[in-house]
Structures are given as structure tokens and as C-alpha cells.
Structure 1
Amino acid sequence: MTKQVHLAAHFPGVNNTTVWSDPAGGSHIEFSSFVHLAQTAERAKFDFFFLAEGLRLREQGGQIYDLDVVGRPDTFTVLAALAAVTDRLGLTGTINSTFNEPYEVARQFASLDHLSAGRAGWNVVTSWDAFTGENFRRGGFLPESARYSRAREFLSTAAELFDSWRGDEIVADKSSGVFLGNPAAGAFRHRGEQFDISGRFNVPRSPQGRPVILQAGDSDEGREFAAATADAIFSRHGTLEAGQAFYADVKGRLAKYGRRHDQLVVLPAATFVLGDTDADAQEKAAVVRRQQVSGATAIKFAEQLWNRDLSGYDPDGPLPDVDPIVGESTISKGRASVRMNRDPIAVANQWRALAAEKNLSMREVIIEVTGRQNFIGSAATIAEQINTLVQADASDGFILVPHITPGGLDEFADTVVPLLQERGVFRTEYEGTTLREHLGLGFSR
């Protein structure tokens, strides 16, 4: 059976894929930028628009640096505003479970689902670092080992609030001015290790029942959390072999939770560069990578591995001949790069071997080893690549991350999408009105 491709648009914010210095780059905070990308995605009949969240500006060596200088405005504010200028496009955002409360978040998502007529989606994330926690009253109180236990209870508590309304409890008697119906409507009581709350939820059942739940963890615990609770999972595995392994793994975990294979949508994030020909696209991609990794950015990336000040090094010269400092990061705050390199000395030696093999400078090594475009080619080539990966069960679709904001999705919408539609693997019109319908998911009960 031929699968339908799912596509979503990621508003990237300022990060290592965004080329903010390009003349075509626009604002990352003005509302017109969000409107442009969202309306382009809706014109192309994408499933949803995705907004990431940053709770603190990242620092390196005690200074804010160019990859995160503008930060990100409030997620709910932007999504609620976009609900007024779009009609069918899903509106999803990242909201942290570590520094928020279930009642507050459930109320905001239920409100967004009403305002958008059933298009809300919640990417549930956790945070472990005290650096981000300094912006909040509770600071970095939560140890890394406990973050998923809080997230699980946070999400289950929010679900209790969403489900506290069946949808038909209230009947208004206008003559008496009294609301009649089930006196238990909205009533909740939750006692657990993380939360002890009771009261009455004041937002009636929303069009989807619950917002679509997205999750992005790649650890074994994160995959298990997604299999138990998520409607969609982001993935960083965008190649055929790695994608198929991840797809089989997370889908294989569903049965133990009484869930079907089609109740979890797997969506890797993907960047792309389009050209008139494949060769033209390759040339453009090389230019984009040089823009994404300036000399200053190369130094910053190297510092995240070496965990030491490398400002005295030439980015167009060799890699440092000293070894990384092993232990807690003292350089990079707000990024997990150092923590994710479990053996930084081994990684540094791999980089040195690559530099020696290909005669690469520090900047060229960073370009080689950091994220690159998933799809490079003509519109026909990229359409073929996307469809091949989806039909081979390496994914169910992709969350596209353009390197230019806000117009970076325009060419894809105008050239690649029509080719997918011609193949019969992507919708030509929205068939439903809610995000759950776009993703092939049922009403959440």
C-alpha cells in the first residue's frame, strides 16, 4: 500500500542551520516573518507549522553569541496570533514540562485548540540544566535522571484536565441565567509524586479532545516515552538505514501500550537546498554550509568539544593540538553539545584523523562533521528522495527546516510539492479541518 507523505514546516529561530546574515534573511521576531512561513506552508497543504522554544539565550565564555542573539518570543502568543491568519494548518509548539505547571499549560493548549478550531499540537520537552533554571523560581532543582518521570506525570496530569470535560455537560437556561448539567464537569483531583492539585478545569472540551502530542527524545527512555504517550515523534535519523532502524524500533514499542502501528507518526527534521539541476544544488549547498559555519562559528563549535577558550586559534588553521578538558562544561551554557560528547578526547582524535586525511582546516572540519542538508538536488530529485524514504519506512514524512527565514520554504512549496502531488502521495487539498485529521489520527478520547 502506498503511503501518504506528511510534511511540516519548522520556524528555525536563530541556530546553526539559519543563515541570518544572507541578504534574503529577514526578521526572526517580527510577526510578518511567522505569517509568511505559516501561510506558505498552508498554501502547500502542509500538516503543521512548528515553533521551537528557547527559555534562555545561550552563552559561550560568558557572552551571548551570534547564533542565538535574538532569542524567541513566547510560543503561545505567536501560535494564537497565527490562528487568526490561517485556516487549516496545524499550529504546534514546544512547551517545557520542567519549568511549567500542568493546569497552566493544559489551559493554554485547550484555549489554542478552541481558537484554532482544532489545530493545536504540543511538543513535550524536558530541561535538566541549572543554567536555564536560573530564569525560574525553582532553578535547576531537577536532576537529569528525574526529568522523564516529571514529564510523564506532567503529561498524564494535563490529560486528566483535558478529559475532565466530556463535551456535553453544560446546558444554559437563559430564562433563569443558570448553567445546568453535570456538576462534575471540569472537576479534577490529582495526587502524585510531582503534583498534588484539585479543582475545576475552566476550559470545556476542545475540538480535538486533546492537542496532538509530539515528542523528540532519542534516548531509550525518550523512545519509550513517545511510544507510550506521543502522537508524533521527531527524529534526527533522516537517512535510509538509520531511519529504518529508528522507525522499526519506536513502532515496535507501541503494542505493549495497546497502540497500533499507525498511531505514532515518525517525522525526521530535514534541511534542503534546491537547484535547477543536481549539480547546481550541490554548488549552492557548499555556499550555504560556508555561510552557516563562519570562522567565528567554527571556533564556537570547537570550543563546545574542547571545553576551553580557543579564541586565539585561527579557524582557517589546524585543529588545536591540546586535548579537550573532560568534565562539566565551563564554556558553553544552554547547549548540550559538550554533554552529548561522552568521550570528547576520542571525538577530538577522530576530527584530527579526518583533518589529516583530507587536509582540512578547523573550519572545514566543522563544516564536515556538523549538520548538513538532508536533501540536495533539483525539485525532481528531492521529491524522489522524500517519497523513497517514506515508502521504505524510514519515516512517515519530514519536518522541513529552511536555512532562510521567512522565505526559505517558498521554492519547495512551488516546485517539490506539485511533484509529490502528481505522484499521488501528497494531498492537493485538506480533507479534514483538525491537525489530528491531517496526521491520520482519531479524536482523542
Structure 2
Amino acid sequence: MTRRLHLGAMFPGTNSTLVWSDPATGSHIDFAAFADFARTAERARFDFVFLAEGLRLREQQGKVYDRDMAGRPDNFAVLAALAAVTDRIGLAGTVNSTFNEPFEVARQFATLDHLSGGRAGWNVVTTWEEYVGENFRRGSYLPREQRYERAAAFLDAVCRLLGSWRADDVLADKATGRFLRRADAGAFAHRDAQFDIAGRFTTPPGPQGRPVVFQAGSSPEGREFAAAAADAIFGMYGDLAEKREFYADVRRRAAAHGRAPGTPLVLPAATFCLGDTDAEARERAARVRLAQVDGRTAIAFLEEVWNRDLGAYDPDGPLPDVEPVVGGGAVAKAMAGVRKYPDPPATARRWRELAEAKGLSIRELVIEVTGRQTFIGAPSTVADAMCAWVDGGACDGFIVVPHTVPGAFDEFARTVVPLLQERGVVRAEYEGRTLREHLGLACN
């Protein structure tokens, strides 16, 4: 029998999975959309909802590229509001460790944990891109190789702040309704290569002690950071074989750090496309990919690798006959494609060979080489596949990323989750109240 399968639900407002043109996609800034999403996930007994973060609007060649985003509201404000309209589901948000300060983040998460009754989760991410740093007047002050050094110091400082209150530092005086604080309550000092801070932390720890810590890096540095300090890893897209390798590697690293068996949890992102039959789901998945990668998107993606303006090329025509620009270029200050494909000329050669062999246009090639839906099929097929991934040593569960909200997410909650509940791998009712309890983690 498949072991317990953990489920998170990502509100996909800052990534290119979402199909904005689909009528089933609603607002991504109206609070009602967030509340509906969280309530749906809670009715389906998900472990948590998950909010991504975007600290700058995406741009290309100096112009805002609005194909995959519509508003970037602040995560803490949204999560705090969700705490008031939900009861059990965990509330996890991405908060950057490069452009924030430990005191502020620790106080915000302690507050969220109190407001939610112990349901707070923090996805610790790093940022090295100069174009994001400009929003904070820091430019590219932090070299890329140092970002996880700062993240580790940041997390250590936050944990020290949250631990600066002892269990007996707050005593309720029931006769007066006041609180009595001991003289040294909240005292802290943290000094390392990144931070030199000392003072009094203002907020006692919440019910969990500290929030559940997620980490989303897949690089060797990210894996090492997660293995040493995270409670759970938000893995990126990939096939079963890739996830098995990732899972085994992270567990090896965690064991080397003396972590308890079974930690950290590995929860990859899972996209999906459903249908009444497997054949219908495959047809629908093909339409979804065409909607996710329209002509403009295909050209923009190729520009990230070619590092030059390709606007004159037909997305339904052949790949460019010019070579990528290596080194500095005019396309963008920091692009995902440049990071993912560090050898642009070699990448271009491989893609030309693939396009010629299969007769692919630019748009078709981009669809071919970029991520497809992780799971495609009838609800029973998708449920089977999810169980197979967990049984096959690829993960401990999934963070579901729908291509439309509320449409596709509601469909998943209505059709797939009940099948997982019938198999006993997803809870039918919440047993605990905190996010740590949902994930089988000890409070600390």
C-alpha cells in the first residue's frame, strides 16, 4: 500500500504555467480568488496552500513581458487574510532571503503563526539577479556564488530570533488579562559574515515554534542548503527518473548532516491535465501547451538562449540561422534561459538537430524542449501515477500547480483527490491543527 501522500496547492500567479487566456482563469489579485482557492484546498484536505513570489515584473529588452503574470500582491498580507477565512489548511509563502532582513521576516512569520493557530510555512529563496536588486537599490551587490551563504545565515538568524523567547517568558495574568514578561525575554545577538544584529525580539514564538521551512533550489548549492536546514523541498518539474535521482541525492546529503530519516520531505511541483478518458486528456494537454506557448512566448523563450533580438523571425517558421550571442547581450540583464542553458551555442546546435529531425517550427521546438504536464490522463490514471511516484522513491507528495484557477484546480480537487482518499493515501479529515502536524513534523 502506498504510504501517506502529502499535497500542497500552488496559486500560480507568477509563473508561465497559467493560461491567462482561458475563460476558466479568474483574477490573480482579487482576494476573493485567493480565498476561493484556499477554501477549495481545505475542503479537499490539502496540507497547505503555497504562494510564489515575484519581486520585479518580468521584462525582456527593457520592456515588461506580461504574458505570464497579472499582479504581484504581498504574500504576508494575503496569507494573513487567508488565516481569517480558513481553519486548518497550512499557509506557506515565498519570502526572499537576499533582499529582506532577519528581524522583519522573523516577526512577520511569528505573527502569521499566531494569527493562523500554527499554520505558517516559509519558502526560503535567494536572488542574485541585478535587475531584481535594482528595486532595492542594491544592484548585483551579492555575487551568485554567495547567495546560499547568505540564505543559510539568514535562516540561522531568523531561528535565533524565534528562539529568543523561552516557554516561561510569557505568563498570562488571568486576573488582569495582562502579560508578565521576564527581564531578559526576547534578548538576542547574532553576528556572522552576513549580519551583525542584537536587541530584543518583539514577538513570542507561535504554536509551531518556527514556521515549516521550504526550499526550492535544485542546484547543488540549493540541494545542500535544503538537506542541511529545510523541512521540505519544493522540487521543480521533471520526469520520474530525474525525481528518483533528486530524491536519493537529497536524502544522502541530509544523512551526512545528521538529519533524521525521512527528512526533508521532497514535494515536486506537479502540473496535470485531466479528461474523462486518457485519450481526451492527451488531446486537452496538447491544446493547453499551445495556449501556454503562443508565438510571442516562443520567440521570447528563444531570445533567452540566443541572447539577441529575434522579433523578426516567424514563430511558425524555422529556427534562426544566426548564432547565439555569448557573454553580454541586449536581451535582458538576467534570464532564466541563460542560467538553465549555460552553453548557448551547444544548445542551439542540439535544438537545430532536433528541429530538423522532427520538422519542428520555433514554436513547436519550444513546446518540445520545455516542460509538459507532469500527469496526463483520466482521474484514476493520474491518481495511479501519483502513487507510483511515491512508491517508486521519487517523492513524498506533490505541490499541485494548475494551469487555470479556479477551473483546473477545482477539477483536480473534485475528481483526483477523492480517489486518493479512497486509497487511504490522502487524509479524509484533518487529524491535527498545525502545518507541522499535517506534514508529520515535530514542533520546535
TM-score bin, normalised by smaller chain: over 0.9
Which residue number corresponds to residue 416 of structure 1?
Answer: 416
Tell me which moved more, 410-419 or 272-281: 410-419
Which residue number corresponds to residue 163 of structure 2?
Answer: 163
In the TM superposition, structure 1's runs of 4+ consecutive aligned residues that sit over 6 Å from their partners are 174-178
- Give the distance between the partners of 1:254 and 1:316, measured in 2 at CA: 46
**1:120-173: CA deviation from partner (whole Å, max 9, x where unpaired):** 000001110111001003332111111111111100000001111123212255
Is the counterpart of residue 149 in structure 1 residue 142 in structure 2? no
Which residue number corresponds to residue 216 of structure 2?
Answer: 216
What's the offset of the Cα at 1:260?
1.2
Secondary structure of 1:189's partner?
strand
- Give the distance between the partners of 1:109 and 1:329, measured in 2 at CA: 40
1:271–1:373 CA contact under 8 A, matched in 2 = yes
Query: Cα gap change, 1:175/1:374 in structure 2, threshold over 3 Å: closer, same or farther?
Result: closer
Which residue number corresponds to residue 379 of structure 1?
Answer: 379
Which residue number corresponds to residue 347 of structure 1?
Answer: 347
2:9–2:399 CA contact under 8 A, matched in 1 = yes
Secondary structure of 2:296's partner?
helix
- Give the distance between the partners of 1:35 and 1:332, measured in 2 at CA: 35
Which residue number corresponds to residue 320 of structure 1?
Answer: 320
Secondary structure of 1:17's partner?
coil
Which residue number corresponds to residue 299 of structure 2?
Answer: 299
Tell me which moved more, 188-197 or 250-259: 250-259
| Count of equivalent residues | 444
Secondary structure of 1:145's partner?
helix
Tell me which moved more, 361-370 or 6-15: 6-15
**1:34-75: CA deviation from partner (whole Å, max 9, x where unpaired):** 111111111111111000000000111111123245231101
What's the offset of the Cα at 1:425?
1.0
Which residue number corresponds to residue 124 of structure 1?
Answer: 124
Which residue number corresponds to residue 358 of structure 2?
Answer: 358
What's the offset of the Cα at 1:340?
2.2
Which residue number corresponds to residue 427 of structure 1?
Answer: 427
Which residue number corresponds to residue 256 of structure 1?
Answer: 256
Secondary structure of 2:268's partner?
strand
- Give the distance between the partners of 1:53 and 1:329, measured in 2 at CA: 26
Which residue number corresponds to residue 203 of structure 2?
Answer: 203
Which residue number corresponds to residue 244 of structure 2?
Answer: 244
Secondary structure of 1:67's partner?
coil
Query: Cα gap change, 1:290/1:177 in structure 2, threshold over 3 Å: closer, same or farther?
Result: closer
Which residue number corresponds to residue 99 of structure 1?
Answer: 99
Which residue number corresponds to residue 437 of structure 2?
Answer: 437
- Give the distance between the partners of 1:65 and 1:358, measured in 2 at CA: 30
What's the offset of the Cα at 1:105?
0.3
1:6–1:46 CA contact under 8 A, matched in 2 = yes
What's the offset of the Cα at 1:333?
4.5
Look up the equivalent residue of 1:18 and give its one-letter code: L
1:59–1:334 CA contact under 8 A, matched in 2 = no
- Give the distance between the partners of 1:212 and 1:174, measured in 2 at CA: 31
Secondary structure of 1:108's partner?
helix
- Give the distance between the partners of 1:108 and 1:245, measured in 2 at CA: 36
2:80–2:112 CA contact under 8 A, matched in 1 = yes
Query: Cα gap change, 1:174/1:13 in structure 2, threshold over 3 Å: closer, same or farther?
Result: closer
1:27–1:33 CA contact under 8 A, matched in 2 = yes
Question: What's the % identity of the aligned pairs?
Answer: 64
Secondary structure of 2:335's partner?
coil
- Give the distance between the partners of 2:426 and 2:323, measured in 1 at CA: 50
What's the offset of the Cα at 1:262?
1.8
Which residue number corresponds to residue 308 of structure 2?
Answer: 308
What's the offset of the Cα at 1:22?
1.1
- Give the distance between the partners of 2:365 and 2:155, measured in 1 at CA: 41
Secondary structure of 1:261's partner?
coil
Look up the equivalent residue of 2:406 and give its one-letter code: P
- Give the distance between the partners of 1:123 and 1:265, measured in 2 at CA: 13
- Give the distance between the partners of 1:78 and 1:51, measured in 2 at CA: 9
- Give the distance between the partners of 1:239 and 1:177, measured in 2 at CA: 56
Q: TM-score, normalised by structure 1?
A: 0.97
Is the counterpart of residue 79 in structure 1 residue 79 in structure 2? yes
Secondary structure of 1:23's partner?
coil
**1:334-377: CA deviation from partner (whole Å, max 9, x where unpaired):** 53221221111111111111111111111110111111100000
Secondary structure of 2:139's partner?
coil
- Give the distance between the partners of 1:433 and 1:177, measured in 2 at CA: 26
**1:77-97: CA deviation from partner (whole Å, max 9, x where unpaired):** 111011111111110011011
- Give the distance between the partners of 2:254 and 2:148, measured in 1 at CA: 18
Secondary structure of 2:36's partner?
helix
Which residue number corresponds to residue 18 of structure 1?
Answer: 18
1:285–1:373 CA contact under 8 A, matched in 2 = yes
**1:196-224: CA deviation from partner (whole Å, max 9, x where unpaired):** 11111111121000000000111111111
